[in-house]
Amino acid sequence: MLAKLTDVLQGTIENKYAIPAFNVFGYEDAQAVIEAAEEMGAPVILATNKVAIQHIPIHIIGKLLVGLAEQATVPVVVHLDHGKDYETVAKAIASGYSSVMYDGSHLPFKENVRTTKEIVRMARAFGIPVEAEIGSVGYSDPSLGTGALTDPLEAKQFAEETEIDALAVAVGTLHRMEEQTAHVQFDRLHEIEQLVSVPLVMHGSTGIPDEDLKKMASTNIGKVNIGTAIRMAFGTTLRQEVNANPASFDRIDWFKRPMEAVKEEAKHKMKLLSLETYSKQPVQIK
């Protein structure tokens, strides 16, 4: 069933679990993630980043993901990840996305507040929840962008002034990490938790060691973004399939094992985030 971000985030703080947002690029990985969620009996978020919507126009991939979500037996959010401008966010809403992130973290603080408030005003008119970011999560390759850790007092002011529904913070992770070597600054995260009442969001979570990812479930992190882990699962398994079957040319056959690999990796992350306990606190879809 199609759900909103605010639907699935309710109860995450009180009941000590977090919802993963998996960056997907089309039917195969999206369907695999939904199957993982259905086997877990838990909600999930399908997110599309700028690479995905450059590859498949937003109005096309949006309708595809919404169609999959509507057929699912668990709550599924269709979420725009790192929307960079008003036009992109508006297109996502018009295409059926049930949640959007506006990322003005590259802007000066006052400009980030001003543009985020504009996005919130527009999204609220359609009943769509908004995530935004303060501080900035960088990349494992600095040429793609460097980050800045979140200042707890700025996080408080930003959340209060913009009235967003979820706040992404930078506390030590990086996007596109292939190894689990991120050092999460839990002390900084705890400071932010004391000052910000809305659910927090962790980006770049592939790089977080399993033990630290488990800790996320007991914090105010309600949403955990994961992309590289499932891309690696799909790509590595697909390479094995192609190499093992050099005469094959049917991509549907090639995709079977990669889809299974994505499903298993998604289930692994969901277990770490304590989603096995979700069935005790089911989401109420509004």
Active site members: 81
DSSP character string of 37-102: HHHHT--EEEEE-HHHHHHS-HHHHHHHHHHHHHH-SS-EEEEEEEE-SHHHHHHHHHTT-SEEEE
CB 63 within 8 A of CB 94: no
CB 8 within 8 A of CB 43: yes
CB 180 within 8 A of CB 141: no
Helical axes 86-94 vs 58-71, angle rounded to 10°: 40
Would you tell me how many other CB atoms lie within 10 Å of the CB of residue 58?
19
- Cβ-based neighbours of 263, under 8 Å, separated by 6 or more: 32, 33, 35, 36, 39
CB 221 within 8 A of CB 201: yes
Distance in angstroms (rounded) separating the CA atoms of residues 210 and 175 = 16
Task: Provide the sign of the torsion angle of the four alpha carbons 232, 234, 237, 243, taken in this order.
Answer: negative
